[in-house]
Amino acid sequence: MTYVMSDLHGEYQKFLQMLELIRPGDEDVIYILGDIVDRGEEPINLLLDIMNRKNVIPLMGNHDFLACDILKQLVKEITPGTTALAPKLMNQVLDWMDDGGINTMLQFRELQPCQREKILKFISGFSFVEIVEIDEKCFIMSHAGLGNYQKGKKLKEYTVYELIAARPDVDKRCFDDESVFIVCGHTPTRNLCGENRIYQTNGNIFIDCGAVFGGKLGCLCLDTMEEFYV
Ligand SMILES: [Mn+2]
């Protein structure tokens, strides 16, 4: 079976509860469509856990991208002789803190240098788009969907912004072929349909059910289209 979830945002306990519920076997694959870090309680424990699971495939979210970029700079900048950060980096750090980065930064700081390096390398390797074909269906997955969608535009032509940070047009059907679906997180479904549940419309499947915002962690099985919530 192939499962998808997204926007875990440090909700490590909910992730473990979801695994209890779906009980994936060695043959099963779980895609996490980005935003593993920031906002929630245990972003680094969650990353360390995911790193050691062979059947979990993480994709890049805007929070993961930003955290990785800033942490790489901080690791380089903060040496025993550092007394102040460059203003540009300082502003980036402050914006990140405003956007829920505090736990990610503090917990990252507790790690040994080799673990830090391993985590940054791990996040840097997240892919931006994955395509899965199951039976007659094709699922195109990314954190934010296909922003500024245009017919005929190749997947590799989408910018990082369009794949991890754009907001969706829920009324737009992108592919005429009704067996093709775009699966994404990033925008909580409560903002799209008024409820914390997986929302399907016009060939788009939105799966961010607001786990870190008092909603739920949702998970969709792409083989059966069964929905799971914790
Ligand atoms: Mn996001």
Collapse the DSSP code of 22 into the 3-class scheme (helix H, G, I; strand E, B; otherwise coil) and give the result: helix
What's the fold here for domain 2-61+125-229? Answer: Purple Acid Phosphatase; chain A, domain 2 (3.60.21)
- The pTM is what? 0.96
Could you tell me the distance, in angstroms and rounded to a whole number, from the CA of residue 65 to the centre of ligand 1? 10
Residue 84's pLDDT is: 86
Could you tell me the distance, in angstroms and rounded to a whole number, from the CA of residue 208 to the centre of ligand 1? 9
Could you tell me the distance, in angstroms and rounded to a whole number, from the CA of residue 50 to the centre of ligand 1? 18
Using the 8-state DSSP alphabet, how is residue 102 labeled? H
Residue 82's pLDDT is: 84
Could you tell me the distance, in angstroms and rounded to a whole number, from the CA of residue 167 to the centre of ligand 1? 9
Could you tell me the distance, in angstroms and rounded to a whole number, from the CA of residue 183 to the centre of ligand 1? 14
Residue 168's pLDDT is: 86
Residue 83's pLDDT is: 85
Residue 152 CB coordination number (10 Å):
5
Using the 8-state DSSP alphabet, how is residue 53 labeled? -
Residue ranges of domains in the chain = 2-61+125-229, 64-123
Per-residue pLDDT of the chain (230 residues; tens, 9 = 90+): 999 999 999 999 999 999 999 999 999 999 999 999 999 999 999 999 999 999 999 999 999 999 999 999 999 988 888 888 899 999 999 999 999 999 999 999 999 999 999 999 999 999 999 999 999 999 999 999 999 999 999 999 999 999 999 998 898 999 999 999 999 999 999 999 999 999 999 999 999 999 999 999 999 999 999 999 99
Q: Which of 126, 119, 37, 42 is nearest to 75 (CA)?
A: 119
Positive or negative torsion for Cα 150, 190, 50, 76: positive
Could you tell me the distance, in angstroms and rounded to a whole number, from the CA of residue 33 to the centre of ligand 1? 9
Could you tell me the distance, in angstroms and rounded to a whole number, from the CA of residue 82 to the centre of ligand 1? 32
Could you tell me the distance, in angstroms and rounded to a whole number, from the CA of residue 16 to the centre of ligand 1? 21
Q: Which of 213, 209, 206, 202 is nearest to 230 (CA)?
A: 209
Residue 43's pLDDT is: 98
What's the CA gap between 142 and 208, in Å, rounded? Answer: 12
